[in-house]
Amino acid sequence: MSEAALTTRPVRRPQRTFARRATDWIANPWGKPRFLVLLTWVYVISSIAPVVIAIQFSFNDGRSLTAWQGFAGARWYWGDPVNSVWHDPALQHALFQSLKLAGLDMLIATPLGVMLALGLARWRGRAASASNFLMLFPLVTPEIVMGVSLSLAFLNVFTFIEPSTTAQVLGHVTFSLSYVVVIVRGRLFSIGRQYEEAAADLGATPWETLRLVLLPLLMPAIFSSLMIVFAISIDDFVISQWLSCGADCDTIPIRIYSATRAAPLPSINALASIMVYFTLVAIGISYLVYRFMTRGERPAGGAGKSMVGSMGAFDV
C-alpha cells in the first residue's frame, strides 16, 4: 500500500458508550443542552395540550365535555340557535364585559405606566429605591391577596366606589400597572440617555425631546405593554370576581367558572376558545409590531432571528 493511501485513510473515532456519555453529561451538563431542549419541548407540549383539547371540544357535535362525538363545525360558536355563544345573551355579555375591561385597562394603565417609568428612571434620592421596590410589589403579591385587599379598600376606605365595572377597571389597572412600568423601564435602560442628551445639545426643549425623541424610541415597549395588559386583563378571574357586582359584571372567566358548577355545554369551551383566539391575536400583533419597530436595531447576519430571542428582546 502506498504512502499516499495510508495518509488519506479516514480515522475512525471510537464510539462512546452510554455510560461514557452519561459521565460526560454529568461532568458538563451545559456543553450540549440536548436534555434542556427535550425538557423545554416537554413543557411546551404539556402546557399547550390542555388548551388544544379545550378548543377541540368546542367543535364537539354532542353536548358532552368529556366524550368526543364528532365534528360539529361552528355549532357552539354561532350555529346552535339557543345555546351557542352568538345566541346566548349571558355569554355575549360576558364576552363584551371582558373586552370592555381589557380595553379600558389598556387605555388607562399604559399611559400611567409610561409616566411612572419615566419618573422613576429619573428620580434621584433616598426614596427612589423604596419607590422602585413598591412599584414591583403587585408583581409578587398573590392575586387572591390583591383581590381581597382591593375589595376591603373599596368597602372601607373608598366607599364611594361600589362593586361595579368601575371597581373592576380600577382593580385591573392597579395590578397591571407594574407590568407596564417594568417593560418601559427596561426599554429606557437599553436605549440610554445619549439620545436625549444629543437632542438637548441641539437645542431641543425637554418637551420636544420627549415628544420627538424619547417616545418614538419607546414605542415598541409601549405597544408591547398594551398587548400584555390586554392579555393579562382579559383572562383575570380573581380580582374581577372580588369586585364583581353580580351577573352584570360577569366576565368570561367568571362565566366559565359558574357554568362548570352546573351543567356546562360545549359553548363554554367555545367561549374559552374565543378568549384564547383574542389572546393569541394580541400577542401575535405585538410580536409583529415589535419586529417592525425594531428592525433597524437588530444586527445584520441573522443574530437574534429566533422568536424567543426577539421576544426576550422586549428589553424587559
The residue with cell 357552539 is 76
**Residue 189 resides in a domain:** yes
**Residue 93 resides in a domain:** yes
**Residue 254 resides in a domain:** yes
Give the number of domains in the chain. 1
The rounded distance, in Å, linking the Cα atoms of 173 and 74 is 35
Task: State the amino acid at position 6 in one-letter form.
Answer: L
**Which SS3 state, helix, strand or coil, does residue 71 take?**
strand
Task: State the amino acid at position 77 in one-letter form.
Answer: Y
pLDDT of residue 169: 92
Residue 268 belongs to a domain with what CATH number?
1.10.3720.10
DSSP per-residue codes, 183-213: HHHHHHHHH-SHHHHHHHHTT--HHHHIIII
pLDDT of residue 29: 61
Domain with 281, as residue range(s), is 89-295
pLDDT in tens, the chain (316 residues): 455 555 556 656 666 677 777 777 666 666 666 677 788 888 888 888 888 888 888 888 877 777 787 787 788 888 788 778 888 888 888 888 988 999 999 999 999 999 998 888 887 777 777 777 777 777 888 888 888 888 888 888 888 888 888 999 999 998 889 899 989 988 888 888 888 888 888 888 888 888 888 888 888 888 888 888 988 888 888 888 888 888 888 888 888 888 777 777 788 888 888 888 887 887 788 778 777 776 666 655 544 444 444 444 444 3
The rounded distance, in Å, linking the Cα atoms of 247 and 37 is 46
* CA-CA-CA-CA torsion sign (299, 303, 307, 312): negative
> What are the beta bridge partners of residue 60?
71
**Residue 31 resides in a domain:** no
Check: CB of residue 116 under 8 Å from CB of residue 177. yes
The residue with cell 366559565 is 256
The rounded distance, in Å, linking the Cα atoms of 118 and 132 is 12
**Residue 140 resides in a domain:** yes
Q: Phi and psi for 60 in degrees, rounded to 5?
A: -70, 140
**Residue 315 resides in a domain:** no
**Residue 122 resides in a domain:** yes
**Residue 20 resides in a domain:** no
